[in-house]
Structure 1
Amino acid sequence: MSAAPSLIAQQIKPTSRGYAPANGIQVYYEVYGEGKPVILLHGAYYTIEMNWGELIPELAKTRKVIALELQGHGHTPYSDRKLSRSTLASDVEKVMDYLKIDSADVVGYSFGGQIAYQFALQSPQRLKNLVIISAVYKSEGWLPEVNAVFKKMKPELFANSPLQTAYDAVAPDKTKWNKFLEQMIASAGEPFDLGDDNIAKITAPVLIISGDNDGMDKIELAKTYKLLGGGVSADMQAMPKARLAVIPNQSHVSLMRQTKIIFSYVDDFLQ
């Protein structure tokens, strides 16, 4: 995750931005456009602009887009609060409370997709539709070599990277960069599993978007899709509510640069 998606010329300003109190921290958010709400959850070490800069202008043409920056990311201050998926998913709900949003569609990329899965499990009444981009709900969803990298990561690998540049541009306290990295790296190295049985209980429609070479184990991905009701012969029974899109010739990082493709799938699904 060393390269940032390049930003196209079309920039739009948020209609509002600020901080929402959430479980002892202040979570930064930006709101764009008008319409039915859709919440965007970025990948690990990313900022809103780095992850969603190209997609927000498209989504905001017809939707109210709420983009968050998770604990320690971007404008949201670093905190010694234990980093857990359940707490971060609860933060999303607190931001919704603050913005008076009863329920919303949720789109999560990578680490943000893990939080989106967790949100679907613990706050099902607040979720309308779920979009998971290049994300897993358990460590085994990644290829073994990806998990091996997670266990060997060190803060110095991120020095002077586009991720650090993006962080330095907006973080309230740039001196927290290494502490933030240590916290995130420790979290990435811990195996996790939200549970097959729990995923199978998700009732909201789910769209999964994956790159064909994005580090996800495609056998596990097929099992995930089946848990969500997909992978059937739809000529013999009803089409499932879940959808799966595997985008060819894409890595984990390059996938988020495919704005037109991702928008077409997401927009069609959320319609």
Structure 2
Amino acid sequence: MCLLLIAYRQHPQFPFIVLANRDEFYARATQVAGPWHDQPITAGRDLEAGGTWLGVAPNGRVAAVTNMREPQMPEPADVLSRGEIPVNFLTGEQTPSAFAQGIEGPRYRGFNTLLFDAHLLSDDHNPALVCAGNRHQPFAITAGVHGISNGAPDSPWPKVIHGCTALSKLTAGLPNRLDENSFVTPALDLLADTRRAPVDELPDTGVGEALESALSSIFVRILDGDAPPGTPLSTGYGTRVSSLVAVDRDGGIQFWEQGYENGQRSGAPRHFRLNPPAG
């Protein structure tokens, strides 16, 4: 997952909305979103490492993870897959804050993870939404529109700034019932933006100007010739999945996933509805 756009407590009916793009190698084996047969969650699945980039659970939980772009950092000894972090939270019972404190950060390559529990929306003592990572301390996300890409949370990368601005406008006009015209289509259009940032606005994460440019759009599409020859991304890399999550004030969750093949939309969005958690 390479971009998370979050509208938190910005709509009276939907206090938590997430729009997300997962960027990955085109050849990496992936299972489309759906209920897992071995875990009580609904998510896509990375078939290479077994985890997920974003998922939801009937207990009112939502979790997602992005990697940090830090090519010079060595891999940890006995490294764990970052995709297991959302799975472990979704299938557990700890609050977001408690779970965040227990993550073994040194065992993972750099990451940010978003942890949400609808049970805590009315709790004044335990935050319902927490961002954790192994390059910063966990913190409660405040009401507002936020963006997380492959740097620090809310880093002013062009895709984060443009995405947050667009999500603010979209959220302001949402009705109390979401449908294809009011939410799904405009949200997926927002996530399909292929405009690259001007060179003078690019971040410097150590991958070189050509790749910084190729990765600067909200929707990433890198084919033969778009990346320096011999680099890993030159074999085909980009947005594989766009995901939309909307949690209503009762804790009910709606989840849409749109898949892509080699940068082209594949089929219609899949839609899942999870009822509010009891209690």
Q: Give the TM-score, by structure 1 length.
A: 0.30
Structure with the higher fraction of residues in helix conformation: 1
Structure with the higher fraction of residues in strand conformation: 2
Q: Higher RCO, 1 or 2 (CA under 8 Å, sep at least 6)?
A: 2
